[in-house]
């Protein structure tokens, strides 16, 4: 009993800053508790609910995805011209967290409402890239790029930090499930397996480039104050752990030095050792546990892969 109370005391600060710094619904517009039994877009038998429940993998994976996205000049042009990333990069990360959290766990009507809202925003984002190429945020090809970078990075984060092996069949099922959100946003030709993702990256790589804009976004990212304890130290752990999740070809394109790669390996080991503390701290609160209660399943089932014949 005493040990349990001490663990609760140690976990409470972690729980408080995770829920406060990266709320899944900062506006309070999504009710994750009702209606009872509503599975949302995926439901508790999905691989997606399990992958997206792991906070260290999702935060490091989200940072890795952002690094990858800086390599696509057209995708980066939309961010450069139409967002306030220079003043509020953390806000951009929070909005991504909100969208992923809601489309994963919210009741279906709320998830579909959020997707429609993002579609309307995308329809207003368009312009001319540095090389004179027109771009639109609702371009199916750009939507596919953003989706694949995120899904690949989230899966890589889970594999690296969740202390839970991911068989190839489970990874394939994750890609097949999660593409439904990208397709609802307007993406087309979305990869549905690990092999298809590898083929996709091979096809798109000739379009990628490390530009002055890439360098500037990454410079801002390297100095961002994440709303976490010991902001500088914690930022470096998560950022370098994100670098550790990147494919080798992406790290090469981003011109990571041998020193940065060593730092990434060290940070990944540190975050791996910290991951159980995050899991324990978030066990009884947060969107995942609330959603499990809504559909009447135990949170512990999120640590077991669903049967292969599940939906």
What pLDDT is stored for residue 235 in this prediction? Answer: 75
Residue 15 has pLDDT above 60, yes or no: no
Output the CA angle 155-160-165, nearest 5 degrees.
Answer: 80
CA–CA dist 52, 48 (Å, integer):
6
- Over residues 255-280, the mean pLDDT reads 91
- Over residues 280-293, the mean pLDDT reads 80
Residue 173 has pLDDT above 80, yes or no: yes
What pLDDT is stored for residue 97 in this prediction? Answer: 86
Q: Which residue has the higher pLDDT, 84 or 21?
A: 84
């Amino acid at each position: 009993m005493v040990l349990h109370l001490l663990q609760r005391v140690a976990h409470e600060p972690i729980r408080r800053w995770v829920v406060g710094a990266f709320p899944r619904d900062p506006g309070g517009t999504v009710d994750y508790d009702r209606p009872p039994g509503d599975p949302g877009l995926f439901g508790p038998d999905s691989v997606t609910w399990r992958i997206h429940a792991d906070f260290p993998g999702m935060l490091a994976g989200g940072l890795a995805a952002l690094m990858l996205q800086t390599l696509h000049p057209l995708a980066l042009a939309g961010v450069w011209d139409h967002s306030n990333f220079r003043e509020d990069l953390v806000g951009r990360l929070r909005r991504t967290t909100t969208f992923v959290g809601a489309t994963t766990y919210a009741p279906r009507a709320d998830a579909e409402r959020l997707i429609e809202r993002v579609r309307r925003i995308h329809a207003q984002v368009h312009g001319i890239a540095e090389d004179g190429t027109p771009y639109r945020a609702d371009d199916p090809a750009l939507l596919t790029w953003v989706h694949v970078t995120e899904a690949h990075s989230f899966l890589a984060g889970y594999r690296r930090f969740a202390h839970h092996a991911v068989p190839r069949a489970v990874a394939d099922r994750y890609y097949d499930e999660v593409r439904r959100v990208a397709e609802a946003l307007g993406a087309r030709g979305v990869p549905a397996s690990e092999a298809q993702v590898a083929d996709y990256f091979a096809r798109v790589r000739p379009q990628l480039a490390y530009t002055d804009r890439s360098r500037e976004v990454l410079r801002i990212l390297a100095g961002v104050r994440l709303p976490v304890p010991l902001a500088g130290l914690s930022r470096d752990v998560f950022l370098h752990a994100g670098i550790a999740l990147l494919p080798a070809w992406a790290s090469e394109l981003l011109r990571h030095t041998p020193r940065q790669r060593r730092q990434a390996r060290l940070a990944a080991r540190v975050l791996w050792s910290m991951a159980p503390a995050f899991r324990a701290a978030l066990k009884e609160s947060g969107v995942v546990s609330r959603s499990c209660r809504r559909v009447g399943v135990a949170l512990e089932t999120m640590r077991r892969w669903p049967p292969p014949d599940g939906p």
